[in-house]
Structure 1
């Protein structure tokens, strides 16, 4: 069976760097940090003092206020991002087109805020006071469900829940849906709103997050003084289309998606496999799927969480796959600016990867001050730079040993 070519025709995002994709990308290029003092919770109650929060988000700009109250925050982010992505793609989902447009949006933990508030209600007031909207607000697939309802997309509808790889897996799975002919377009990405009491308490107990109180340097991937990730919230969505569909309607094409890899570590519930073995296989699989050689890749948007093991093992994995070419690659972590958005991280990084290809600009790794001998690649330290980008890779690695990699290629109409 001949594989159909798949392109990116629209992007939408709500991130700690801005409430739309263009603002988020501009701030990423400028090296702006979206990390600040944690305000959504009582910071005195936790070792974690900083977070990458969404500021001034108004759900009523995208949906009725009554309906917004029936959605968890992560679903609101997804619906808003989907509407912006469709507008960016200038894609109107007509009744004729609807069965051929699908939705695939991942989330790592779903409606945690809803779960906590309703459990409090249950304890204080009893079963009868629990909202009938509790379950449909909490479940992780509701971002995809509500986006389908709000946009009218009636094609394949799904949700990948693979921890911090959820957004990347969702985009890769959506890519394959179009490639094999089951849909002509997909609204895909990830959404997360994890700055809640229980989520923060859990990550603090796992000693995964930084406990520094300095937001300016809290997220510092690949730096020798990194001390844990900074939790963030938001959503990133892409509009993927078959090349035929995009060209038939004269759509603007950002990039072509050409490869997807997905592997498991079979090692540990939270720690990556030694030397990044699973991540290396994932990158190699994505290159094989794309039909490209390691030397074809010029930039990797790394998972780069600012944790000790991830950054070192991901670096080792890159060197395993790319050999000497690893030292000619640019590798940066935009989590230095956005924080770690868990299930939405890979989706936002896919948006940034596509924008990097379009603009020919490498987003930086900010807060990079002290080199780590174990992390010895070109991490685009502190300032963006122009580059002739033809092929870009984006990595995501999640708890449970989930690894996912996407490969994007610069679009050339000729």
Structure 2
């Protein structure tokens, strides 16, 4: 019998004051966004307020070493420890355990500025504070854990791929607990200018997924982490279960019209593979947190893939797009979608898509697909099951299936299989 993967705790930092899963949900449900006109990047962006603030002493890190650390590493420590505490776990008790760490992150703007500068002093911490590989290793080091510690870069799908790898490792017995997520810190105006040259960024400075006026995305910063455990173990120990990863899949576009061009066929394939992984049919899904970048090319391709998979279901399928609230947080985008979807499952609400006023006519007929412009109560009384997509400009795609937690059995009752266990 296939074991589902329980989500026990979550921690995050996202724009607009979304410094907890609850605050992120409030931002999303209100249809607000955290995009500001601050000109750190020369154009509007969803930026975090205080990248410099960090309690080094709490983590047992010397002030000199902390000063050399990429803000991305600092954010990861903060949201990881918060997720562990929210899961009701003792930080000290993790020492010596087979706990894995799986992180999605990419180019270090801080490292390029700091370590590769032609002048300036180098210290023993100059490399460890900026290397992407060390980000995962540092978490394992501070916690004293012995499971895999892996940093993943598949561009925009990185953090969702990290959750897929963590879930796979738990099922394979490579670890007994897993910490998975991602981070994105945007410091380079040059990288931003390169993305603008590709036509990816909005000239209006707005992220408006699926809207007729959408002209690209706004870059965003953020970090999110989740604590994962095999569902059977979590139930046996009475752990708090927020949601269950019933299945997931990762694939690649291969050859397309261009290296960074999306593939509708590959998106369909990864969705179908995730459904098979979960032992579910398209009709079992009632909400999809989309990749939803708000690009003129990407949005119609994604809707076309969703329509191909879900177009024949007999009930409405709500769609979400958290990039309308946060901008595109890139390597931290997938886990943002997961946190939002978990909150939606728990609260029984389809939240609105921020910035959506009139659907893009290039999307075509939506069929059962619903683009909410206001909060909608989750329809029906069948078990709530959602999905999350993330598609990397590298061509690597990920899709993950989430279900509401199983009901706690009454004392002495025989428990029925939960979603993700069949």
Structure 1 length as normaliser, TM-score? 0.90
Q: 1:148 to 1:39 in 2, by over 3 A?
A: farther
| 1:116 paired residue number | 113
Question: Hey, what's the Cα distance between the residues in 2 that align with 1:290 and 1:59?
Answer: 40
Aligned pairs for 1:303-314 (under 5 A) are 303-314=291-302
Query: Paired residue for 1:60, among 45, 55, 62?
Result: 55
CA apart distance, 1:55: 1.7
Residues paired across the two proteins, number: 395
- Kindly indicate whether residue 128 of structure 2 is the aligned counterpart of residue 136 of structure 1: yes
Query: Paired residue for 2:144, among 134, 152, 165?
Result: 152
Query: Paired residue for 2:45, among 51, 57, 63?
Result: 51
- Kindly indicate whether residue 177 of structure 2 is the aligned counterpart of residue 185 of structure 1: yes
| 1:46 paired residue number | none
Residue aligned with 1:324, SS: coil
CA apart distance, 1:67: 4.0
Q: Contact between 1:112 and 1:138, CA under 8 Å: does it hold in 2? A: no
C-alpha RMSD over aligned residues: 2.0
Q: 1:224 to 1:195 in 2, by over 3 A?
A: farther
Query: Paired residue for 1:316, among 292, 300, 304?
Result: 304
Q: Contact between 1:8 and 1:238, CA under 8 Å: does it hold in 2? A: yes
Question: Hey, what's the Cα distance between the residues in 2 that align with 1:85 and 1:189?
Answer: 11
Residue aligned with 1:102, SS: strand
CA apart distance, 1:68: 2.9
Question: Hey, what's the Cα distance between the residues in 1 that align with 2:396 and 2:314?
Answer: 23
Q: Contact between 2:322 and 2:336, CA under 8 Å: does it hold in 1? A: no
CA apart distance, 1:77: 1.4
Structure 1 unaligned spans of 5+: 44-48
Q: 1:343 to 1:289 in 2, by over 3 A?
A: same
CA apart distance, 1:332: 1.4
Aligned pairs for 1:205-354 (under 5 A) are 205-213=197-205, 218-266=206-254, 267=256, 268-273=258-263, 276-325=264-313, 328-354=316-342
Deviation per CA, 1:322-355: give whole Å up to 9, x if none. 1222972111101100110111100111111111
CA apart distance, 1:93: 4.3
Structure 2 unaligned spans of 5+: 410-422
Structure 2 length as normaliser, TM-score? 0.88
Q: Contact between 1:362 and 1:380, CA under 8 Å: does it hold in 2? A: no
Q: 1:295 to 1:234 in 2, by over 3 A?
A: same
Question: Hey, what's the Cα distance between the residues in 2 that align with 1:13 and 1:295?
Answer: 31
- Kindly indicate whether residue 388 of structure 2 is the aligned counterpart of residue 394 of structure 1: yes
Deviation per CA, 1:293-347: give whole Å up to 9, x if none. 0000000000000111111100000011112229721111011001101111001
Residue aligned with 1:145, SS: helix
| 1:384 paired residue number | 375
| 2:163 paired residue number | 171
Aligned pairs for 1:31-46 (under 5 A) are 31-41=31-41, 43=42
CA apart distance, 1:16: 0.7
Q: 1:56 to 1:112 in 2, by over 3 A?
A: closer
